[in-house]
Structure 1
Amino acid sequence: MSLINLRPWQSEAVRQALTWLLETRPDRHFLINAAPGAGKTICASVIARHLLEANEIERVIVIAPRTQVVSQWADEFKTVTGRPMTKVTGAHGSIEAYGTDLCATWSAVQGLQDAFQQVCRASRTLVICDEHHHAAVKAAWGDKADSAFADARFVLVLTGTPIRSDGKKPVWLAYDSKGAIRHPEAGTYTLSYGKAVDLGYCRPITFHRHEGRFSVALPDGDAVAVSGTNAPRLSPALKRIKGLERAVDFYRLACTPKYLPDGTPDLTSYQASMLTWGIEKLNALRESIPNAGGLVIAPSIEVAEYMAALLEKLEQTPGSGRPSQAKPVLVHSNMRHAETLIDTFRDDDRRWLVSVAMVSEGVDIKRLRVLVYLPHAKTEVAFRQAMGRVVRNLREDDGSRAYVVMPVHKIFERFARRVEQEMSPAARKEAPRPALKICRVCAAPNPRSAPACIVCDAEFPPPPQLFKTCGGCGALNTSTAQGCQACGQSFQSPFGVTLEEALRVGAIIRGMDLDEDEVREGEKRGPQIRAGVLASGDQLLIKQIQGLPDEAWGRLLKILMLK
């Protein structure tokens, strides 16, 4: 068990929690509502240690959102308490055989409800509920959690995003008519993101609203202009084109991969322009924070793979940086050992991590500084959770900011304004460029003009510079150039997308909003499944599939956990 040097807010939260749970005892629940990255895991572990030392509890059960976070909990809990914590990520086996203290995923609770209930009845148990918004009343996980832990001696609720965007209310806490938590003040400790920034626990954040102009080419030779700030104008005749109104939505176009004829990603696409901005910001940050990293959150596996390929191409262009680090780390739910890849990225020097949703909640990688945000879920909970990945401090004196690159979108802008309003006026101002650069060999600070480290003589590479190729003459230009320096051609032309490409981003079929990967899977396997059902002669099954389009089979397969 290590001696933990708590931050002032953590010490105050521990004191308040122990007073509420052990002295006044009006309720067995205590709520910690603190900004992502402020240190809720350590704080909760210290509370658990005090309760164990006071013989108020015999065991601790932590419920976390995903496998990666379960591992982090086990490591930090042992550091604080000296007690090993067994990781439970599958709904099988006997919990009693696992050991004293457990950390399970929310999904595991659903299958082990009775086992957890027996543990809480047999032992004085503290339940720590991490990312509490997952436990919604009348939702599967909420119902199971409420039953599984009904007999827990104490419940410590942790959240950084306490209100669910779907309006459902999580279990155990009271809410007012507007959806705000109404837990007693004495039983709640709150640390807002703005306060965490002012205290130096989290970094201030800058949002880059990335505009783009698209030109969607129609089969008859006409084109529809689309931008993030202006809705497309469609004539009555165009509105009659099936699927066109949905296809020319700006955000859908921002999520549409664009490939060259040879099948490689197009470096002149909208996504490439987003990534270019992120690369340049990361290059500048790595002068003072040599291991700073970037995170890309994509809306689907297909787009994640496309963004990873784009990053690799962009960072391998002449003068763009270190080729050895150009290949980003790609993780998604269909990959084996994805958690291992995330763990490796946390501790190495790779520049970019590309994910769909695996790194958007709870995962702690302190060196992340830049987020390129192109998600599927457009909720405030998801937005703030993703933002939390890049606001964590690597050290409290590094003076850096967090940066988010996101498409121009009224929903994202509304969320960003709320976050900015939480910060003090001083925190909203862009920080000046650091006066020193850090040697990546010996970590010594150096003047920005130094060609080599003044301590170890390691040479500083020249600042990387991204280039783009002129489509007219083929000349290389800096990525920020407004026009070609050789032939004068403007680079302000819209991003060209064909109607076929625009229509490929998923589908709406009989009220189902399908992702592109579901559509493709359904198109691939639907005819085979349909033929098999018909060949079976089972009239009940045949009746059920009548009229079901092939595209919908991808969603059905996902529901049945066959894919």
Structure 2
Amino acid sequence: MADLNLRPWQTTAIKKAEDWLLGADGGKHFLINAAPGSGKTICASVIAKQLYEKGEIDRTIVIAPRAEVVRQWSDEFKFVTGKTMMKVTGADHEDLAGYGLDLCATWAAVEGLLDGFQSICLSSRTLVICDEHHHAAIEAAWGRGANGAFAKAKYVLVLTGTPIRSDGQEPVWFAYDDNGRIDHPDKGSYTLTYGEAVDLDYCRPITFHRHEGKFTVSLPDGDNIAVSGTEETNLEGSLKRISGLQQALEFYKLACTPHYTKDGKADLHSYQGTMLEWAIAKLDDLRNEVPSAGGLVIAPSIEVAEYMAEIIETMEGEKPTIVHSRTPNPEAKIKAFKETTKKWLVSVAMISEGVDIKRLRILVYLPSSQTELSFRQSMGRVVRSLGPDDCSRAYVVMPTHRIFEEYARRVEMEMSSSKRGDSAEINFKLCPVCEEKCSKLETSCSSCSYEFPATKVKFKTCPDCDQLNPLGLSECQFCGCSFMHEFEVSLDEALRMGAIVRGMDIEETEVVDGEKYRREIKRELLSSGDEALINIVKRLPEESWGRLRKIINKQ
């Protein structure tokens, strides 16, 4: 405990939890609703430690969403309390009480461990910690299992970053008001929103980049139907009578459909390929500042995950880590990725919640689920901070899709204006050995002589003339073919439409201009000595510099 440097919010939450759980007028359920990455695990472990020291509990049981999160709990709980936490599964149901240790299991295992957990709660003064409590919906099997298993627990500590399930079902133990918000006494809960966590530098601010695709669906009679994420697709005449056509023309369904070249390889010019191209370029830039920075792809299916992994390997020259339900020992692969500097992790419903990989900076978001709960949980994978010196931003590349845009705007509006600015210009690269800041042009560290890996120029093939072009060009340097509009496979154009940042829609041309001119404009403003202008520099997001230049040029 003495070695822990608790954040102010954690100290306040711990005190509030003790007052509620141990007070004469309190209750046995305490809620911590805090943003992903803000430190709920440490906070809950300290509460458990103090309850042990006060002689209030004999055992602790932790329920977490995934096996990898269970492992993280076991490690952090022992770090804080010094107590060993045993990981249990449904196969351990016969004698849980006899182990004599603190226990940790997944939500999926609760039903199989019901008798054992009930026995522990009846025979011992037990603290139950429910991580990602939204899993315990009253009408769901896990909710019924949790309610039965832990009804006799002395205390229940509930942790969540997304307390309202998108399906409207209510997790056990809490009442809800007419608007779907948890109706729990203020004294029995502590809330830290994502916006507050950003303002306090616990989490990184996030920018959402929209990726537009205009698909052309060819019909048997030779007619074409245009489909995009920004316009409704209206069928007329006899087309209305074609069974399943309306569903087939859903933009998001088309965006999730992989496309292959004639020789069976993943098409780099597909919708997914253009998403990954932007993300790869952004990650390369971020790795100058954070050499270990990584990217996460959340795919809608195993087929699309393997397809996107193939594109990444072709573009990067490095095979990404891929994890899904058919992957042998996926938890070991996730752990290995976490402890290396490998660039990309591709997942299907494996990294959406709870998994703590602090070096992740970029999220390519193309999931099967379209709920706000899933959106925020996935977003939480890339906002975790490495510490007070971490000034980098988080980036989400997502389809131009009305539902996702609504979620993104809500997240943006949580942040105060003082934290909606751009991070410092990355005009250096950090030595991974001695952490010296070196010029981007240096081939070795001036302090420790570490030799930086040679920058690999990534290429893509022009679909018209087959010539190689550096990744990131908007048109072929040989024949002028546009890389931003013309695509095959029922895909006329795939164009990133810009960004949703600070609640504003920013045009793609302005984003490109911002990336091109921001360094020059910022240098002039910073050297002016004008405090008002310098404050603008500190707060203006990088995506807005092109808009500023456009406005100035009109004057």
TM-score, normalised to structure 2's length? Answer: 0.85
* CA-based RMSD: 1.7
How far does residue 494 in structure 1 lie from its aligned partner after superposition? 4.5
1:176-187 correspondence to structure 2 within 5 Å: 176-187=177-188
The secondary structure found in structure 2 opposite 1:330 is strand
The residue identity in structure 2 corresponding to 1:82 is: G
Matched, 1:472 2:473: no
How far does residue 453 in structure 1 lie from its aligned partner after superposition? 1.1
Q: Which moved more, 1:242-251 or 1:344-353?
A: 242-251
Q: Is the 8 A contact 1:2 1:80 kept in 2?
A: no
The residue identity in structure 1 corresponding to 2:415 is: M
Q: Which moved more, 1:30-39 or 1:242-251?
A: 242-251
Matched, 1:77 2:69: no
How far does residue 425 in structure 1 lie from its aligned partner after superposition? 1.5
Q: Match of 1:138? A: 139
How far does residue 89 in structure 1 lie from its aligned partner after superposition? 2.9
- Aligned mates of 2:240, 2:422 — CA distance in 1: 44
1:169-208 correspondence to structure 2 within 5 Å: 169-208=170-209
Q: Match of 2:59? A: 59
How far does residue 25 in structure 1 lie from its aligned partner after superposition? 4.2
- Aligned mates of 1:25, 1:269 — CA distance in 2: 61
How far does residue 262 in structure 1 lie from its aligned partner after superposition? 1.8
Matched, 1:275 2:266: no
The structure-2 alpha-carbon separation of the partners of 1:491 and 1:449, relative to structure 1 and needing over 3 Å to count, comes to: closer
Q: Match of 1:338? A: 330
1:467-506 correspondence to structure 2 within 5 Å: 467-497=459-489
Q: Match of 2:450? A: 458
The structure-2 alpha-carbon separation of the partners of 1:421 and 1:334, relative to structure 1 and needing over 3 Å to count, comes to: same
Gaps of 5+ in 1: 317-325, 500-563
- Aligned mates of 1:89, 1:411 — CA distance in 2: 37
The secondary structure found in structure 2 opposite 1:488 is coil
Q: Which moved more, 1:127-136 or 1:426-435?
A: 426-435
Q: Is the 8 A contact 1:453 1:459 kept in 2?
A: yes
- Aligned mates of 2:206, 2:89 — CA distance in 1: 33
Q: Match of 1:166? A: 167
Q: Match of 1:48? A: 48
- Aligned mates of 1:311, 1:206 — CA distance in 2: 22
Q: Match of 2:34? A: 34
Q: Which moved more, 1:477-486 or 1:147-156?
A: 477-486
Identity of paired residues, percent?
A: 61
- Aligned mates of 1:40, 1:358 — CA distance in 2: 20
- Aligned mates of 1:410, 1:402 — CA distance in 2: 21
The structure-2 alpha-carbon separation of the partners of 1:261 and 1:98, relative to structure 1 and needing over 3 Å to count, comes to: farther
The residue identity in structure 1 corresponding to 2:148 is: S
Q: Is the 8 A contact 1:378 1:411 kept in 2?
A: yes
Q: Match of 1:396? A: 388
1:148-547 correspondence to structure 2 within 5 Å: 148-316=149-317, 326-461=318-453, 463-497=455-489
- Aligned mates of 1:488, 1:434 — CA distance in 2: 31
- Aligned mates of 2:155, 2:466 — CA distance in 1: 67
Moved over 4 A (4+): 461-465
The structure-2 alpha-carbon separation of the partners of 1:233 and 1:479, relative to structure 1 and needing over 3 Å to count, comes to: farther
- Aligned mates of 1:268, 1:471 — CA distance in 2: 8
Q: Is the 8 A contact 1:473 1:487 kept in 2?
A: yes
- Aligned mates of 2:411, 2:484 — CA distance in 1: 31
Q: Match of 1:93? A: 94
The structure-2 alpha-carbon separation of the partners of 1:179 and 1:90, relative to structure 1 and needing over 3 Å to count, comes to: same
The residue identity in structure 1 corresponding to 2:112 is: G
How far does residue 24 in structure 1 lie from its aligned partner after superposition? 3.6
How far does residue 223 in structure 1 lie from its aligned partner after superposition? 2.2
- Aligned mates of 1:55, 1:118 — CA distance in 2: 20
- Aligned mates of 2:264, 2:397 — CA distance in 1: 26
Q: Is the 8 A contact 1:20 1:186 kept in 2?
A: yes
- Aligned mates of 2:264, 2:88 — CA distance in 1: 42
- Aligned mates of 1:494, 1:261 — CA distance in 2: 17
Q: Is the 8 A contact 2:89 2:113 kept in 1?
A: no
- Aligned mates of 2:223, 2:457 — CA distance in 1: 37
How far does residue 149 in structure 1 lie from its aligned partner after superposition? 0.5
Q: Match of 2:519? A: none
Gaps of 5+ in 2: 492-555
The residue identity in structure 2 corresponding to 1:287 is: N
Q: Match of 1:558? A: none
The secondary structure found in structure 2 opposite 1:253 is helix
How far does residue 268 in structure 1 lie from its aligned partner after superposition? 0.7
The secondary structure found in structure 2 opposite 1:111 is coil
How far does residue 219 in structure 1 lie from its aligned partner after superposition? 3.0
- Aligned mates of 1:218, 1:272 — CA distance in 2: 25
- Aligned mates of 2:418, 2:218 — CA distance in 1: 46
Q: Is the 8 A contact 1:294 1:370 kept in 2?
A: yes
Q: Is the 8 A contact 2:352 2:381 kept in 1?
A: yes
The secondary structure found in structure 2 opposite 1:221 is coil
- Aligned mates of 1:127, 1:275 — CA distance in 2: 42
The secondary structure found in structure 1 opposite 2:15 is helix
Q: Match of 1:147? A: 148
Q: Is the 8 A contact 2:211 2:275 kept in 1?
A: yes
Q: Which moved more, 1:54-63 or 1:388-397?
A: 388-397
The residue identity in structure 2 corresponding to 1:19 is: D
Matched, 1:9 2:1: no
Q: Is the 8 A contact 1:67 1:89 kept in 2?
A: no
Q: Match of 1:539? A: none
- Aligned mates of 1:213, 1:465 — CA distance in 2: 29
- Aligned mates of 1:468, 1:118 — CA distance in 2: 62
TM-score, normalised to structure 1's length? Answer: 0.84
The secondary structure found in structure 2 opposite 1:13 is helix
Q: Is the 8 A contact 1:217 1:497 kept in 2?
A: no
- Aligned mates of 1:498, 1:290 — CA distance in 2: 38
The secondary structure found in structure 2 opposite 1:93 is helix
Q: Which moved more, 1:437-446 or 1:191-200?
A: 437-446
The secondary structure found in structure 2 opposite 1:419 is helix
